[in-house]
Amino acid sequence: MLIPTVKEVPADAEIPSHQLMIRAGLMRKLASGTYTYLPLGFRCLQKVINIVRQEMNKAGAQEILMPSVQPIELWQQTGRDVAYGQTMAKFTDRHGRQNVLAPTAEEVVTSVAANEINSYKQLPINLYQISFKFRDEFRPRFGVLRSREFIMKDAYSFHADQKSLDETYKVMYDTYCRIFKRCGLDYVIVEAEAGEMGGSGSHQFTIPCPSGEDIIVYTEDGSYAANIEKASVDPLPKEKSDAKIPPIQEVHTPNVGSIEAVCSFLKTQPKDMIKTLIYTVPGVISESKKSIGKELAKHSGDKVTVGEPIAYQEVAVLVRGDHDVNSEKFTLIMGGEHAELADEQTIKEVTNAKVGFAGPIGLADKVDKVIIDHAVTAMAVGVAGANKTDYHVRNVVPGRDFPLEGQNVIVTDIRNAVEGDTYRGKKLLFKHGIEVGQVFKLGTKYSSKIGCKFLDENGQEKNCTMGCYGIGINRIIASAIEAGNDKDGIIFPISIAPFEVIITPLGVESEITQVAEKIYEQLNRAGIECLWDDRDVRGGVKFKDADLLGIPVRITIGKKSVAEGNIEIKLRTEPNSQKVSIEQAADKTCELVNSLREKLNP
Ligand code: ATP
Ligand code: MG
């Protein structure tokens, strides 16, 4: 068997799972973000896939398989050819047709359903596939945690109404709990933003661990847990102010633009600064926006073409200097449109100043919208940009020096939660996590655009209501390793370990080999997956490899103990082994394996 374990840690492997998957010979890198699974890695993959498939089938979902190469026209119908940006890989075929390498499959499955479903009698239906997805990630890293090509289980449900969607969503939610429990993962479920998918509700299944790229925000009592993308915060209490704050005062701050630079120059702190960010909110001109006409077209002359990207709004966002704008909250406020930081030219036009000197005073008259974070309105006084190159202003009082209400002024929660924040009065805590799965209530976003309709009981035509449910198969393996490892190697949950038992004979003498073979056969007959290390190498080498591979149970057959009629059984998680007679070896092993399997039963 090809199990090329190595001692060296690959230079580009920053986290334990990535290092160990290479060192244990589970996989090898081909190019940035693409990996070959070697026999043991492939076995892990198959095990995860089996668990996922069994649970999906049990939940009444039906497996299908959709193409990875998809015509771009389908993506144009939903506007996601643009929304997915450069993450979506495209190519032109020999006939000049543009294709997409599937990053996901809402468009395709909806077009399938549009053709096959016509009556409420066919609903609800839940279709899923387990297939390769390709995303040209900006920064592939951490091995298979964020790769470019990966295996996803993606399911899509179609419903006559919201109530039916809610039911299936609950079934999928519970199914995900069973899947992750069976895979041996300690997961945390968090409220999530639907992001690119759209729709009205979403949860993520995350594995807490330091290398996770997601931040989970939660309360100690467990009453609230959300991805930071979504996490709400209570408004801050209004700061007390000295009775009289002097009028604003302009200060010369030559070439001092960043928050840090201003703070050290003016001897103030980020929390006492008002940060003003100018965004443009680009959109795609849809038929409905076309009717907005001139207003919409003010940045691109009078020409308005449906389907074309256009920047049509300038939006200023005010947050405290130590806070960050939350782009998901921003997108929601903008009705689903993604904002981008304005370019230098636009900032100059709007603020009359170089980048770094934008401020809130007089801004409401210069931009289409001003969005003010709650925390800014709670400030007694602050320092801000002066809308004049190389100048800031002190003694800026929100409400006195710039308006907190008005036709184009919105006061809301638009920042990321930070240490010290509360939600519903409870302190918020933070930890990193890996997103292994996500479920979404999509509503009619895709069905309405692709024309996926059905006739209801009254013969009326309606758009299908949809849900979608994704799981990253490869990420499950990597996160199980992130959560389960020690200085010697991987500690696999038994359900996804490449083998359940490893037999390590110490020597190749026939009396040893005979015992090994006997136990190997007995265990195989008992339905236990067994790896027999029959290499002619030193015992130390075998033990090191067995630990590195993380196989849960090890049976050691030594010359001396065989002479005494014994073998040794050891759990990967325990320091010591136990002596068992050769006759009882198989039974005892079955017992151990069964108890390990049992623990992962939902
Ligand atoms: P992320 O926020 O981590 O980029 P996503 O939210 O874009 O992921 P989904 O569209 O929800 O991902 O995809 C479903 C699942 O596919 C995710 O929960 C994750 O487990 C997996 N997945 C997504 N992107 C990758 C990737 N680049 N490499 C490995 N697995 C991935
Ligand atoms: Mg996701």
Using the mean position of ligand 2's atoms as its centre, give its distance from the Cα of residue 204 in Å. Answer: 7
Indicate if the pLDDT at residue 195 is higher than 90. no
**How far is it, in rounded angstroms, from Cα 414 to Cα 375?**
9
| Whether 42 and 131 share a structural domain | yes
Look at residue 211 and tell me if it is in a domain: no
pLDDT digits (tens, 9 = 90+) for 555-591: 999 999 999 999 999 999 999 999 999 999 999 999 9
Question: Atom 28 (ligand 1): residue with closest C-alpha?
Answer: 146
Total domains in the fold of the chain: 3
CATH, residue 562: 3.40.50.800
| Whether 391 and 278 share a structural domain | yes
Look at residue 422 and tell me if it is in a domain: no
Look at residue 553 and tell me if it is in a domain: yes
Look at residue 240 and tell me if it is in a domain: no
| Whether 509 and 569 share a structural domain | yes
Q: Bridge-partner residues for 443, per DSSP?
A: 466
Look at residue 197 and tell me if it is in a domain: no
Of the listed ligands, the closest to the CA of 468 is 1
Residue type for position 534: D
| Whether 504 and 476 share a structural domain | no
Indicate if the pLDDT at residue 48 is higher than 70. yes
| Whether 567 and 461 share a structural domain | no
Specify the pLDDT at position 255. 87
Structure tokens belonging to residue 16: 């334990």
Look at residue 431 and tell me if it is in a domain: no
| Whether 472 and 531 share a structural domain | no
Atom of ligand 1 nearest to the CA of 435: 18
Using the mean position of ligand 1's atoms as its centre, give its distance from the Cα of residue 472 in Å. Answer: 6
Look at residue 192 and tell me if it is in a domain: no
**How far is it, in rounded angstroms, from Cα 359 to Cα 391?**
10
Residue whose C-alpha is closest to residue 203's, from 195, 213, 193, 214: 193
Helices (H) and strands (E) in the chain, counts: 17, 32
**How far is it, in rounded angstroms, from Cα 279 to Cα 367?**
10
Question: Atom 3 (ligand 1): residue with closest C-alpha?
Answer: 435
Is the Cβ atom of 438 under 6 angstroms away from ligand 1?
Answer: yes
Indicate if the pLDDT at residue 294 is higher than 50. no
CATH, residue 392: 3.90.960.10
Of the listed ligands, the closest to the CA of 434 is 1
Question: Atom 26 (ligand 1): residue with closest C-alpha?
Answer: 146
Specify the pLDDT at position 451. 96
Higher per-residue confidence, 43 vs 302: 43
State the DSSP code for 365: G
| Whether 393 and 470 share a structural domain | no
Average pLDDT over residues 11-36: 96
Beta-carbon contacts of 396 under 8 Å, excluding residues fewer than 6 positions away, are 248, 274, 359, 360, 361, 381, 382, 383, 384, 402
**Containing structural domain, residue 35:** 16-186+449-481
Pocket probe for ligand 1: among 150, 193, 228, 230, the residue whose CB has the most ligand atoms within 8 Å is 150
| Whether 465 and 339 share a structural domain | no
How close are the terminal C-alpha atoms of the chain, in Å?
A: 33
pLDDT digits (tens, 9 = 90+) for 235-285: 999 998 877 899 999 999 998 888 999 999 999 999 999 999 999 886 554
Look at residue 7 and tell me if it is in a domain: no
Are 158 and 466 a contacting pair, CB within 8 Å? Answer: yes
Indicate if the pLDDT at residue 327 is higher than 60. yes
| Whether 387 and 531 share a structural domain | no
